[in-house]
Amino acid sequence: SVQDKNALHLYSVNGKYLGSETLKEEVSDMCVTGEYIVMGSLQGFLSIRDLYSLSLTISPLAMRLPIHCISVTKEYSHILVGLEDGKLIIVGVGKPAEV
């Protein structure tokens, strides 16, 4: 975060710069899982981005409270979101029939 601007930068394992994406929110936690980056923000948004292009895969989900932690189950079936007030939100991943 530099002068109220937040960005997500992508580098290869060899340190080569691959790209960046400017963010509107302040990231509080993130989790890289498979080909996706799952991010939570202090503004209360849960975002899922493609790992290689950094573009949003879906519109951010509003949690209405600051997100303090993010975790993804080992089967990649659910995202666990810890909120500022202590609540745990469980978000199903996949098509509605799969959730």
CATH number at residue 64: 2.40.128.630
| 22: in domain | yes
Residue 3 has pLDDT above 80, yes or no: no
Helix (H, G, I), strand (E, B) or coil at 10: strand
Model confidence over 5-61: pLDDT tens digits?
899 999 999 999 999 999 999 999 999 998 999 999 999 999 999 999 999 999 999
User: What is the maximal distance between C-alpha atoms in the chain?
Assistant: 44
Residue 93 has pLDDT above 90, yes or no: no
| 97: in domain | no
Report the number of distinct structural domains present in the chain: 1
| 38: in domain | yes
What pTM was estimated for this model as a whole?
0.85
| 99: in domain | no
DSSP codes joined into one string, 36-98 = EEEEEETTSEEEEEETTT--BSSPPEE-SS-EEEEEE-TTS-EEEEEETTS-EEEEE-S-TTT
